[in-house]
């Protein structure tokens, strides 16, 4: 069941896509809420799309309290996910586990691109101390997906954190074609943290990369 977590989480994203018309790219908004005071950070990705910081999440008192902090793009809206509350829902713990858990980590925060005009999320997952180093956790995270190919791993360092990043392709059951996805993992004293960027399709994914790259560049221990 866990191997289908990525598919289950993103099913609703496809439905929303069918209801929305074309909109500007998510990395070119002007305001957002749900984060702390705006910081002047800019990131431009390989497609030439740029993004301004809409604030920082992760610190105590922010919308998502995490082992790390990072900047989110303007107009992207962050929302905490409570796995314990999901387990208490009528669907029960098993369904909640399938929807929120992927490999050794569990979803604790979602940063939604829809207010900025794209269909997709930057999701944050955390795991317990002792779950493994960044590389081990990230490889297990990807292995929990289905129909994954073309994985490319690389190491990186940011804000005093050492991490591992992966680019890969995943074949969607609904689109029946591969789409690009990206994720990174870092280790903290509180356990591993994984950031994942998907998207409705490869085009949406590439339009949102600037927001992911902003998060990676500003990643720090909380």
Residue 122, C-beta contacts closer than 8 angstroms, at least 6 positions apart: 72, 76, 110, 111, 113, 195, 196, 197, 208, 211, 212, 215
20 has a pLDDT exceeding 60: no
Q: Which one of 3.40.710.10, 3.30.70.2190, 3.30.1650.10, 3.40.1000.10 gives the CATH number of domain 2-221? A: 3.40.1000.10
Structure confidence at residue 175 (pLDDT): 67
Query: Residue 200 has what pLDDT?
Result: 85
- The span from the CA of 97 to the CA of 3, in Å, is 11
Predicted confidence at residue 139, as pLDDT, reads: 96
The residue extents of the domains of the chain are 2-221
The answer on pLDDT for 27 being more than 80 is no
pTM to 2 decimal places = 0.78
Listed in sequence order, the residues at least 6 apart from 15 whose beta carbon sits closer than 8 Å to its beta carbon are none
Q: Give the model's pLDDT for residue 21.
A: 34
Give residue 199's pLDDT.
Answer: 86
The tokens describing 141, both together, are: 């995270």
**Contacts for 14-19 with beta carbons within 8 Å, 24 or more apart?**
14/172, 14/174, 14/175, 14/200, 16/114, 16/119, 17/119, 17/200
* pLDDT: which is higher, 153 or 7: 153
Alpha-carbon torsion (132, 128, 10, 33), positive or negative: negative
């Amino acid at each position: 069941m866990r191997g289908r977590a990525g598919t289950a989480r993103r099913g609703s994203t496809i439905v929303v896509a069918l209801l929305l018309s074309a909109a500007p790219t998510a990395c070119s908004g002007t305001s957002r809420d749900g984060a702390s005071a705006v910081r002047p950070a800019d990131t431009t990705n390989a497609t030439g799309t740029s993004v301004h910081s809409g604030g920082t999440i992760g610190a105590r008192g922010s919308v998502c309290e995490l082992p790390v902090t990072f900047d989110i793009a303007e107009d992207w809206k962050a929302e905490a996910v409570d796995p314990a509350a999901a387990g208490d829902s009528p669907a029960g713990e098993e369904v909640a586990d399938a929807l929120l858990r992927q490999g050794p980590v569990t979803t604790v925060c979602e940063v939604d691109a829809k207010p900025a005009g794209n269909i997709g999320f930057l999701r944050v997952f955390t795991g317990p101390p002792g779950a493994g180093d960044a590389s081990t956790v990230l490889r297990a995270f990807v292995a929990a997906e289905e129909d994954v190919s073309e994985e490319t791993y690389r190491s990186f360092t940011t804000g005093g954190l050492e991490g591992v990043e992966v680019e890969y392709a995943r074949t969607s059951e609904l689109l029946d074609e591969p789409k690009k996805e990206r994720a990174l993992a870092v280790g903290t004293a509180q356990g591993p943290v994984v950031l994942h960027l998907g998207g409705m399709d490869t085009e949406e994914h590439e339009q949102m990369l600037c927001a992911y790259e902003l998060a990676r560049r500003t990643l720090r221990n909380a």
